[in-house]
Amino acid sequence: MRDHLDGVGVFVEAVEAGGFARAAERLALSRSAVGKSVARLEARLGTRLFHRTTRTQQLTEDGQIYYERCLKALEELRAGESLIDSGRREVVGPLKVSMPRLFGRHCVAPILLDIAREHPGLELDLRFSDTLVDMIGERFDLAIRNGAPGEGGALSTRRIATQAKIICAAPAYLAARGLPRGIEELAAHDALVYWRGERLFPWTLPDATGRLVEAKLRWRLQSDDHEAIVEAATQGMGLAWVPAWLVRAQLAAGQLVVVPGFPSPPLESFAVWPGARHLPLRLRVAIDRLARELQSRIDLPA
């Protein structure tokens, strides 16, 4: 049965969004992922669902028929889940959750585990990855994503926390190299930068006028693992720009200090789930608890 659902939600969103690029924004996926999902669906059905050009995608006759049937099927599935859940007063059943690796393990998963301890009938399936997943095709109930996801009919979202980001370094490094006094001076320092998906994530910081600009950096280390970056920073290898919660222990121990004068735009975290008129109780409880407790877990002590 699952094979028949793979790609259906992505296909519906591509139709309603008017193209693969816009659907990718709404689903918080890459355009390539949307195109591949639709292509797999077409291969399984043995027919083309879209007429494709370099700029547009239009439904074929078969695509129009299939789209109308998909809408009815998705609504029936959501209605069935709601009917089953409406008769329950206990939080029971499976809850499959995708979340960023470190943020999920350190901040999100402890809250979900607390819920599971309180409700023995809840079955958690926790997946940790920094790669965006196809929530509908892979049958995820909930995803936690950092950064605002796109909005569309296939997904619903709720902001659940705001992460502060800081530039930090070991005291010995700053004693040897001095404090940078503004975004222009960062280029004279060794930067420890985050890298993923064949690109470096830029440091977007305010300049002297308060305008957000991309800092020019000379990196000494690049890594797709924030913990490796933090470890390099504690060893005095350079400056790191990371979520404050990730270095709470190092700051408290004096292994790292905050570099002052670099207020960073906050990183917002969202709960994302397949759109439905009624939420299963287990999903509603998880989202509400995360919205209530997550912020206090990531804030630094005053």
How far apart are the C-alpha atoms of 131 and 291, rounded to whole Å? Answer: 23
70 and 140 share one domain: no
Q: How far is residue 84 from each of residues 118, 218, 274, 281, measured CA to CA in Å?
A: 21, 57, 17, 10
172 and 249 share one domain: yes
Walk along the chain (302 residues) and give the pLDDT tens digit of each residue: 445 567 888 888 888 888 888 888 777 778 888 888 899 999 989 999 998 876 677 889 899 988 888 887 777 776 666 655 555 568 999 999 999 999 999 999 999 999 999 999 999 999 999 888 888 778 899 999 998 776 555 788 899 999 999 999 999 999 999 999 989 999 999 999 998 777 888 999 988 888 899 999 999 999 999 999 999 999 999 999 999 999 999 999 999 999 999 988 889 999 999 876 678 899 999 999 999 999 999 988 76
Cα-Cα-Cα-Cα dihedral sign, residues 208, 211, 216, 217 = positive
Half-sphere exposure of 43 (CA within 13 A, CB side): 9
121 and 172 share one domain: no
Under 8 Å between Cβ of 60 and 48: yes
Give the containing element (helix H, strand E) for 99: strand 93-99
How far apart are the C-alpha atoms of 12 and 2, rounded to whole Å? Answer: 16
Tell whether 271 is covered by a domain. no
Half-sphere exposure of 137 (CA within 13 A, CB side): 19
How far apart are the C-alpha atoms of 11 and 16, rounded to whole Å? Answer: 9
Under 8 Å between Cβ of 289 and 187: no
Q: Say what the pLDDT of residue 173 is.
A: 98
Q: Say what the pLDDT of residue 1 is.
A: 43
What torsion, rounded to 10 degrees, do the Cα atoms 39, 41, 45, 47 define?
A: -30
Give the CATH number, domain containing residue 184: 3.40.190.290
Range list of H helices, the chain: 2-5, 8-17, 20-27, 31-45, 61-86, 101-103, 109-118, 171-177, 226-234, 248-253, 281-298
Cα-Cα-Cα-Cα dihedral sign, residues 220, 225, 229, 235 = negative
Interior CA angle at 151 toward 273 and 139, to 5°?
30
pTM metric for this prediction: 0.70
- Structural domain including 96 reads 91-152+276-298
Tell whether 160 is covered by a domain. no
Overall number of domains in the chain? 3
- Residue that finishes a domain, picked among 45, 70, 85: 85
Tell whether 158 is covered by a domain. no
